[in-house]
Amino acid sequence: MNGTHKYLQQAEKKIKMNNKSKTVALINLGCTKNLVDAEEMLGRIAAGGSTICQRPEDAEVLVVNTCGFIDDSKKESIDMIFKMAKLKENARCKKLIVTGCLAQRYSAELKNDIPEIDDVVGLKNFEKITHLTGKLKKKKNDNNNFYHNNDDWRNRIRLTPKHYSYLRISDGCDNRCTYCAIPGIRGTFMSRTVENIMEEARQMAFEGVKEINIISQDTTSYGVDIYGKQMLHVLLENIAEIEGIQWIRLLYTHPRHFYPELIKTMSVQDKICKYVDLPIQHINDTILEKMGRKITRKSIVTLINNLRESMHSIVLRTSVIVGFPGETDEQFQELLEFVKKIKFERLGAFVYSKEENTPAANFSKQVSKKVKQRRVEEIMLAQRDIVLENNKNLIGKKVSVIVDEKDTVTGGLIGRTYGDAPEVDGKVFMNDHQINAGEIREVVIANVNGYDLVA
Ligand code: SF4
């Protein structure tokens, strides 16, 4: 909620107030892909004649953009819907609209179970959001189907700080990992064309973006659906030529879809951060097979070695799932030992969440909540030692840092190294007062503060 509040403050500044229009507040939850959906929806809401406001209490129309990926995110979304529903009783709110993944997945249930909800809008049905919040009339074909509109970015109201943004290059996923509900929610894999993405990237640079974070559900597959071959390296080369763009970061890559030209482009192109978000999910071959990851331990190890040999300074982020159905103590130990041995610079561990309409939900030998919790804690404890050790090794070294914001507590600055993605990774706290947000400078690391650095 705090993050959303910060974003909405910026949205309000970007949109001219218009007293005659409806006031709309959007509360966004979930991942960066949801954030881009929210930004595109805000663009449509504003284009429809409404005024975006910062505080939900001031809004006549409330839009909750939900996440429905796993149990925890569903719970957070439902809690937020109930919280906003209360504003229909004791604030200005006349209409409550629920959008996003949860809306796509449980449209009927939401309408039946929470009568305060006036409308449920499935993913990408932005035409509907325009007339529901604004003055435009409902169109005949305005139903709850998927559609892919490559031009939604044109009205997009970016909520991130001016100097960085998320660039979505495709949506949907064809991988069908057995635990994952995303393909059912977001549909099949759909790439945008290189030309369309480049137009948006140039616009970002024109507006002052220095760091582009490339997102999708499966970034490394970019292009296979529309060009018949992987085209991420070509896209990266094109983006790197844009004047003003200084850092390009790859998020959500699938290890199975890494390919030699991509590694070569990453290693020779200075603007591409030597950082990869590479979710491996597990390392035991039996579990990987049951997860439907279509990759083996051997291939994952080969890829990691290849990446580290090609780019000595590379920072690897991964995510793993513990407590997948049938995961034995031995298989979990194999994962734990692997994490300790490989020493990923960044790692997120998640407990397996049994999701409706996914094959793994029907697998036998579901692991108890208690065991899953213990395993996730063990992994995170091991990772904490790795991060602390890595951070200590940086003391006295020079690193490039992008400045994100002023530190309101100390009056100094807060930034990130090339090895830290916005929102998810560590921060660098600096004593300097003179550098503007978005500037990239070399600083000397003086100390470590847990997962963060002091320069
Ligand atoms: S690659 Fe697997 S985990 Fe990722 S979105 Fe696709 S199906 Fe889900």
pLDDT of res. 48: 82
Question: Does 151 fall in a domain?
Answer: no
Residues 386 and 409 reside in one and the same domain: no
* Letter string b/e over residues 38-66, b meaning 16 or more CB atoms within 10 A of that residue's CB: bbbbbbbbbebebbbbbebeebbbbbbbb
Residues 389 and 404 reside in one and the same domain: no
pLDDT of res. 149: 61
**Closest ligand 1 atom, CA of 254?**
1
pLDDT of res. 138: 47
Looking at residue 14, its amino acid is K
| pLDDT above 70: residue 104 | yes
Helix, coil or strand: residue 273: strand
What is the average pLDDT across 430-434?
82
| pLDDT above 50: residue 84 | yes
CATH number of the CATH domain containing 376:
3.80.30.20
Question: Does 238 fall in a domain?
Answer: yes
Whose C-alpha lies nearest to ligand 1, atom 8? 180
pLDDT band at 145 (very low <50, low <70, confident <90, very high): very low
Question: Does 169 fall in a domain?
Answer: yes
| pLDDT above 70: residue 4 | no
Which of the listed ranges 7-11, 67-71, 102-106, 382-386 does the model predict with the highest average pLDDT? 382-386
| pLDDT above 70: residue 27 | yes
| pLDDT above 60: residue 303 | yes
What's the pTM value of the predicted model, to 2 decimals? 0.90
> What spacing in Å lies between the alpha carbon of 119 and ligand 1's midpoint?
29
Residues 379 and 402 reside in one and the same domain: no
Residue that is written with structure tokens 């561990």 in the block: 349
Contact between residue 97 and residue 78 where contact means Cβ atoms under 8 Å apart: no
CATH number of the CATH domain containing 107:
3.40.50.12160
| pLDDT above 90: residue 7 | no
Residues 190 and 309 reside in one and the same domain: yes
Domain boundary among the residues 393, 411, 445 is at 393
Residues 69 and 176 reside in one and the same domain: no
| pLDDT above 80: residue 131 | no
What is the average pLDDT across 418-438?
91
Question: Looking at the 3D structure of the chain, how many domains does it have?
Answer: 3
pLDDT of res. 188: 92
Question: Does 355 fall in a domain?
Answer: yes
| pLDDT above 50: residue 429 | yes
Helix, coil or strand: residue 455: coil
Domain boundary among the residues 393, 410, 435 is at 393
Helices (H) and strands (E) in the chain, counts: 15, 19
pLDDT of res. 137: 47
Question: Does 141 fall in a domain?
Answer: no
pLDDT of res. 142: 40
Domain boundary among the residues 133, 150, 180 is at 133
Give 182: exposed, middle or buried? Use CB within 10 Å, 0-12, 13-18, 19+: buried
pLDDT band at 54 (very low <50, low <70, confident <90, very high): confident
> What spacing in Å lies between the alpha carbon of 145 and ligand 1's midpoint?
21
CATH number of the CATH domain containing 437:
2.40.50.140
What average pLDDT does the chain have? 89
Residues 296 and 192 reside in one and the same domain: yes
What is the average pLDDT across 194-202?
96
Residues 383 and 413 reside in one and the same domain: no
| pLDDT above 60: residue 111 | yes
Question: Does 144 fall in a domain?
Answer: no
Question: Does 146 fall in a domain?
Answer: no
pLDDT of res. 134: 62
Whose C-alpha lies nearest to ligand 1, atom 1? 175
Our mutation pick for probing the ligand 1 site, out of 170, 180, 253, 355, counting the most ligand atoms within 8 A of Cβ, is: 180
> What spacing in Å lies between the alpha carbon of 293 and ligand 1's midpoint?
9
pLDDT digits (tens, 9 = 90+) for 309-368: 999 999 999 999 999 999 999 999 999 999 999 999 999 999 999 998 999 999 999 999
Binding-site residues, ligand 1, Cβ < 6 A: 173, 175-177, 180, 182-183, 217-218, 254
Residues 433 and 312 reside in one and the same domain: no
Task: Using the Cα atoms of residue 411, residue 416, residue 417 and residue 420 in order, give the sign of their dihedral.
Answer: positive
pLDDT of res. 50: 87
Residues 323 and 434 reside in one and the same domain: no
Distance (Å, rounded) from C-alpha 43 to C-alpha 378?
43
- The residue segments making up the domain with residue 410 are 398-454
pLDDT of res. 140: 45
Q: How large a percentage of the chain has pLDDT more than 90?
A: 71
Is pLDDT larger for residue 399 or for residue 143?
399
Helix, coil or strand: residue 270: coil
The residue count of the chain comes to 455
Distance (Å, rounded) from C-alpha 35 to C-alpha 328?
37
**Closest ligand 1 atom, CA of 181?**
8
Is pLDDT larger for residue 107 or for residue 306?
306
Residues 389 and 410 reside in one and the same domain: no
Residues 284 and 343 reside in one and the same domain: yes
What is the average pLDDT across 131-153?
55
Residues 247 and 349 reside in one and the same domain: yes
Identify the CA nearest to 255 among candidates 212, 288, 214, 226. 288
Question: Does 293 fall in a domain?
Answer: yes
